Amino acid sequence: MSWNHDEASQADTTGIEHLDGLYSYAMVLTRNHAEAEDLVQETYVRAIQALGRLRAGSNMKSWLFTILRNIWFNQLRKRRNGPQMVEIEVEDGVANSIAEPSKNSHDLYVSKMEAEQVRATIQELPVESREIILLREYEDLSYQEIATVLDCPVGTVMSRLGRARAKLRALLSETLKGSDSLSVRGTK
């Protein structure tokens, strides 16, 4: 599939490489596996429909994340006007963690626990903080790209990101102390 009309970037641009990122974004927005899956699928459906409107050289990653957020936002607005549905909290055990084969079982366990702790802590944050942490720390979007996705000024991105990180640092202070000892053992 050609999402981008630019020949040079066409080869590795299928949209599928952003699947985990989009699913993660959907998860931090909805905190619900079923809703996140629906959201991601709907994002691809809308993206295919809108292919013809994607300009040459467009940033497909930001574009997909923007579509996903718009769908979620519209659903949220629609839901507020209709019967209330229950938001389901995420169970950490469902999430996958990526393990490196060279790690021994203890380190694997520590990594898994650490990743679960991080996920759970992020999900404790307000949605505004959750999404900005995801977009910056996990998806490596620039301030300008984040501003486009969130439809807000770059200055707002900076201030939200600063607040979100400060809050996350405070909540993860114990884990951060623990990760120091992990670093000393050279397993990082």
Partner 1 sequence: MKDCGRDYGVTIELYLDKELIGPDLEEFRAHLEACAACRVELEMREELSRLLHRSRPLYSAPAALRDRVMRATELMPSSAPYALPRLRRRILRVLTRPVQSAGRGVRHWPMLVAAILLVAAGLLPIPGILRQVSANSYIEAAVAAHRSSLNGGLPLEIKSESPSAVTAWFAGKVPFNFRLPEAAEEVGHEQIYRLTGGRLVNYKDGYAALVSYQMQQQTISLLVASSKSAIAAGGEEVPSGGIVFHYSKQMGFAVITWSTHGLTYALVSSLPGSGRQSCMVCHQNMSNRDHF
Name the residues that contact partner 1, by CB under 8 A: 1-2, 5, 10, 14-16, 19-24, 27-28, 32-38, 40-41, 44-45, 48-49, 51-52, 54, 83, 85-86, 88, 91, 95-98, 111, 114-115, 118-119, 122, 133-134, 136-138, 142-143, 158, 161-162, 165, 168-169, 172, 175-176, 179-180, 188
Distance CA 173, CA 82 (A): 40
- Closest distance of CB 48 from partner 1, Å: 5
CA R_g for the chain: 18
Alpha helices, H only, 50-171: 60-81, 105-124, 127-133, 143-150, 154-171
> By C-beta, is 33 or 66 nearer to partner 1?
33
Distance CA 113, CA 107 (A): 10
> By C-beta, is 2 or 66 nearer to partner 1?
2
> By C-beta, is 66 or 154 nearer to partner 1?
154
**3-state secondary structure at position 10:** helix
